């Protein structure tokens, strides 16, 4: 593999200094990752640790996208099985995820390491692994709830409460 000086024509570098702005490649990968993750049932998103976009199910993280790849080398991280973890960390452009490798998380440092459909498959598996580890009651509540439905968010007043009978 021949190394060239300067930025790659495929992926422009993220500008440093001045106001934060993202290259088209960074924005586009965040867009498709976000779109895909939010298509999975009961997924929520939030930004934590200043620059990480977290995707969760029932409060448990299954995927992390870095909003500012210039700060750290990782772009995307997800959980995988121990066997897949061992295989993926051998691929150039994929490393054990910092702080989470002991839990079989990998981090992608080069988006060309895997095809987009492969990344989606791994994120889907991560979602399943995290969902399977949720408490049984939480899993049952998720199965009973309709995903991504605004109608399922009812006010407390419309939910019938169980009232315990008091002994006289």
Cα distance between residue 167 and residue 95, in whole Å: 62
Closest CA to 26 of 74, 72, 68, 63: 68
- Which one of 6-15, 22-31, 73-82 scores highest in mean pLDDT? 73-82
Q: With cut-offs at 50, 70 and 90, classify the pLDDT of residue 155.
A: very low
Q: Report whether pLDDT(127) > 60.
A: yes
| Per-domain residue ranges of the chain | 24-133
Q: Report whether pLDDT(150) > 70.
A: no
C-alpha dihedral sign at 88, 90, 91, 92 = positive
Q: Report whether pLDDT(14) > 70.
A: no
Closest CA to 116 of 23, 31, 44, 56: 31
Percent of the chain surpassing pLDDT 70: 71
Distances (CA, A) of 24 to 15, 18, 29, 72, 142: 12, 18, 9, 18, 36
pLDDT at residue 146, rounded to an integer:
73
CA atoms within 13 Å, Cβ hemisphere of 163: 5
pLDDT at residue 137, rounded to an integer:
93
Instruction: Give the pLDDT confidence of 49-106 residue by residue, as tens digits.
Output: 888 999 999 999 999 999 887 788 889 999 999 999 999 999 999 999 988 989 999 9
Question: For the chain, how long is the longest CA-to-CA vector?
Answer: 86
Q: Report whether pLDDT(4) > 80.
A: no
Q: What is the mean pLDDT of residues 10-15?
A: 30
Q: With cut-offs at 50, 70 and 90, classify the pLDDT of residue 125.
A: very high
- The dihedrals phi and psi of 115, each to the nearest 5 degrees, come to -75, 160
**Topology adopted by domain 24-133:** 3.90.1150
């Amino acid at each position: 593999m021949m190394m060239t000086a300067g930025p790659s024509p495929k992926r422009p570098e993220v500008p440093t200094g001045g106001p934060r702005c993202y290259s088209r490649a960074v924005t586009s990968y965040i867009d498709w990752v976000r779109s895909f993750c939010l298509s999975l049932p009961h997924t929520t998103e939030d930004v934590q640790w200043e620059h990480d976009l977290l995707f969760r199910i029932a409060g448990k993280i299954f995927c992390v996208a870095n909003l500012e790849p210039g700060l750290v080398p990782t772009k995307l991280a997800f959980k995988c099985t121990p066997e897949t973890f061992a295989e993926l960390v051998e691929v150039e452009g994929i490393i054990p995820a910092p702080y989470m490798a002991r839990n079989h998380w990998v981090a992608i440092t080069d988006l060309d390491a895997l095809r987009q459909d492969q990344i989606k498959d791994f994120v889907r598996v991560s979602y399943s692994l995290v969902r399977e580890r949720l408490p049984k009651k939480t899993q049952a509540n998720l199965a009973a709830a309709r995903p991504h439905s605004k109608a399922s968010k009812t006010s407390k007043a419309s939910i019938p409460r169980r009232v315990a009978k008091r002994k006289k």
